[in-house]
Each structure stands twice: as C-alpha cells, then as structure tokens.
Structure 1
Amino acid sequence: VMADYRRVVELERRILELDSKCASLRSEKPDDDYLQNAASVLEKLKSSYTHTGESSSLYKLLQDYTQVILDITFYEENKLVDQEFPEEISPFKIQQLLQDLTEPELLAARLAPNQEVQAVLGLELLECVYWRRGALLYMYCHTLHQRKQWIKKNKATFLKCVQEGVRYLMKMLQVRSSVKLSDGVVFHDSNTTNLLTEVHCQTHTC
C-alpha cells in the first residue's frame, strides 16, 4: 500500500511539473499542434493519476506521460533547429532534452521494477525515445560540422556527441532484436548500415 501511495505521489508531481512547463511553452506559441496535443493528454493524466492500482493502468499512464514528453521536446528541438543551434545555449539545452527523453525509461524502471521497460512503455515508444535522442545529436553534430573553427577547439566534445548519437540509434535498432549490438558489430542489414554510414558521413569528412 505504501509503495502504491509513493508511486501515485511521484506520478502526480511529475505530471504537474510537466503541465506547468507545457503551459509556459504554449504562451510562446498557443497554436502549436504538438503542445496542444501534450496539453490535451496532460488534462487526462491529471484526472486519472489517482486510479493507478492496476498495473495496466500504470502502464497506460506512463505511456501517455511518455507521449507528452515526446511532444513537448519535439517543440523544443524544433526551436533549436530553427535557430541553427545557437552556440551559447545549445550545449545546455541538448543535455536538458536528452535528460527529458531519458526520463520515461527511468520512471518506468522505478515505478514498475519487476517489469522490463519495453513491456511497460511498449516497443514503439521505446524505439521513439531512442530515435529522438539519436536524431537530436545527429542534427546537432551536422550543424557543428559546418563550424570549422569550433570543431578545431572542441574536437573531443564533438566526437563524444557523434558517438553518443550513434549509440542511441543502435539502441533503437536493438529494441525489436534479440541481438545485442556492440561498438564493433558488423552489420549485414543494408538499411542499418546505410543509416549509420549516413550519420558518420554527415558528421565526418567523407
């Protein structure tokens, strides 16, 4: 009973925090489709988080919560892309977005500790949070690659972003596969090879 209570309290706190953030962003662009969708789902979440006794209900809440995060971060990512990743704020914003997109996994593991994360969130959502992190770093690295002077001064940071981005894309490809991918894996699937080659080529001099 105490565990269920803590679970409800944590979900309630997270939902209210996200609701406040969504409202703040909507003041910037009230007609944004993704923020409108996030606000709509949040209204449902606020009215239902007190009924989480069944594990299936908890799963649905976490899935809806994940969708809200995907919608809100998509809006924030688009702002960064439109601004061409300003040097002064991008490193902080990138880390913040990566943390936000990691949260569904952490929350699922904490609130449903006896279940696999993919069983709680579902394959599509889990793939999506990996893809979004990989794609965000890919877009960031693609932009940075055009800043030759920045690259010279920050090569280690750049390479770390590239490697982290590829790691997330590999984890996305692993979600529906029983094969564990490693840094030295040899891909025999042409789509996989093309995807990772494109990421590499866009972020290196090919």
Structure 2
Amino acid sequence: MADDCRRQGLELEKRIFELDHKCATLRTEKRDDDYLQNASTILDKLKNYYRQEGEGSSLPKLLQDYTQVILDITFYEENQLVDQEFPEESSLFQVQQLLQDLTEPEVLATRLAPTEEVQNVLGLELLECLYWRRGALLYMYCHTLHQRKQWIKQNKDTFLKCLQEGVRYLMRMLQVRNSVKLNEDVVFHDSTTANFLSEGFFSDTHLLTMMYIGEMCFWAVKYEDCSVDRVDRREDRLHFRDIGTQVLHKYVSACEGPLQGQGWNTENAKEILSILQ
C-alpha cells in the first residue's frame, strides 16, 4: 500500500513539473496572460509542496489545484486556436490534444483515488467545468467546420464523430449536478427557483449548454440525412433529433417563461425545432 501511494505521488509530481515547463514555455509567448499567470502561481505552490516532501495537502486538494492549472493552460491554448479560426491543416490534432489534456484530471482522480467517486475528489464545479470545456471546444470547432462545406464533404465521418463527442460531453455536464427533487424535505421560498433547479438549470452556462446541444444536433441531423451511407449505425449512436428536440424545448420554455426579458433569444432555437420535429 505504501509503495502504491509513493508511486502515485511520483506520477502526479512528474506531471506537475511537466506542466510547469509547458507553462513557462507558453509564457515566453505572452507573459502578461492572466490565465498563464494564474497557472504559474498554482504550479509554484504545488512544486513547493513536493519540495517540502508532501506536507500539508490532501490528495483531493492537490488534484483540484492540478485541474485548475490544466483548465488555465488549455484555455490559453484554446483561445489561440479560436483566434486563428482553427487552421484547417493542424486544428484537428490540436483539438484532440486539448481534449486529452482536459480528460487527464478525471483519469488521474480515478487512478490515484480508486475508492472515491471522481466528483467527490475533484468537486462538482471542477468536474462540470471539465465537461463544459470539452463540449464547448468541440462546439466551436464544429461551428467553424460547418462553414467549410468542401472539408465536410471529404471528412464527414470526422465531423459527425466530433458532433457526437461534443454532445456527449455537454449532456454529461448537465448531469453532474443531479436535478433537485422537489419533496417535503426541501423547502423553497421562491417557486421559480424551485422549478429551475428541478429542471437542471443551475446557471447561465447550463442554458448556453442546451443551445449548443441543440445546434450540434441540428448539424448532425442535417449531415446524417443527406448521407447515403449513414455514418455510425451502432446502437450507441446518439439519437440527435430526439435529443435536440427535448433540450431545445426546455431552453425555449425557460427563456420565454421565467427568463423572459433577460436577454435570452429563442429565434434560432425555434427555427431548429421546426426542422427537427
């Protein structure tokens, strides 16, 4: 057991020092970037922990700090890709690398704390953020690809796979916090808040996630329907039409109900619904 703990600790320590090198390299490009600065500050704290022979921090705290570093560094890299409008020749590899980096905290949490639930190790907010970032990255990538008709013609399988992965990540983001069950043991002073929580609306990001899912499902249906050989006929293929319809109905109901007048637009959602239904 002691050997396992030591091996696991060394694995995390190695990754921390690798990330420190990467962060330092990126900061030569843009030293004043707030996200890289924040990552560098956390990395200094993590390196000091190991220099002091691992005193004063629990494994969950270490993994949470490590996860925040991953989020900050990948956010900088993601913004670079967006600013460059996802270069056609290299962006697929870069997107896959970012997805791998954003998956690593979950993998490490499972490996280093196998008896604990990942959400208990990383915390709900960080786990939600990891799913959101992966899904939103694929949404932005697919949004750019959607405008490259020739590329999609030659790479339809890849495009549909990206859509499927993106929708899965965003759906998992919505499921991280179990919807609040309204019962006699839960008291709400505001019925609107109660209904929102019971439907899984916990923030503006949750609403935006629903719109992203709807759009990605629409793109998938469009290119599946116009394909002679349907890509991915396996049973685990998502039913994009059903998912998009269900999620956008919830989005429209919220925006035209309790959130009416709060700046949420439903025109695009309703237009997509008219096609999906």
Distance in structure 2 (CA, Å) of the matches to 1:76 and 1:18: 13
- 1:169 aligned counterpart, secondary structure: helix
C-alpha RMSD over aligned residues: 2.1
Aligned to 2:159: 158
Aligned to 1:51: 54
Which aligned pairs between 1:161-176 and structure 2 lie closer than 5 A?
161-176=162-177
Deviations 1:66-98 (A, max 9, x none): 000000000000000000000111011011000
Distance in structure 1 (CA, Å) of the matches to 2:121 and 2:140: 29
- 1:165 aligned counterpart, secondary structure: helix
Asked whether the equivalents of residues 22 and 38 of structure 1 are also in contact (C-alpha less than 8 Å), the reply is yes
The structure number with the bigger radius of gyration is 2
Which aligned pairs between 1:44-123 and structure 2 lie closer than 5 A?
44-49=45-50, 50-51=53-54, 57-123=58-124
Cα deviation for residue 189 of structure 1 reads 6.8
- 1:88 aligned counterpart, secondary structure: coil
Distance in structure 2 (CA, Å) of the matches to 1:195 and 1:153: 24
Asked whether the equivalents of residues 141 and 203 of structure 1 are also in contact (C-alpha less than 8 Å), the reply is no
Aligned residues: 196
* Structure with the larger RCO, 1 or 2 (CA within 8 Å, 6+ apart): 1
1:177 aligned partner, one-letter code: N
Aligned to 2:134: 133
Alpha-carbon spacing, 1:22–1:204, altered in 2? closer, same or farther (3 Å): farther
**TM-score scaled by structure 1?**
0.88
Distance in structure 1 (CA, Å) of the matches to 2:8 and 2:148: 46
1:155 aligned partner, one-letter code: K
Cα deviation for residue 57 of structure 1 reads 0.8
**TM-score scaled by structure 2?**
0.66
Unaligned runs of 5+ in 1: 180-187
Asked whether the equivalents of residues 179 and 200 of structure 2 are also in contact (C-alpha less than 8 Å), the reply is no
Distance in structure 1 (CA, Å) of the matches to 2:160 and 2:137: 15
Name whichever structure is richer in helix by fraction. Answer: 1
Which 10-residue stretch deviates more, 130-139 or 193-202? 193-202
Distance in structure 1 (CA, Å) of the matches to 2:103 and 2:213: 21
Cα deviation for residue 177 of structure 1 reads 1.8
Distance in structure 2 (CA, Å) of the matches to 1:203 and 1:83: 25
Deviating 4+ runs (over 6 angstroms): none
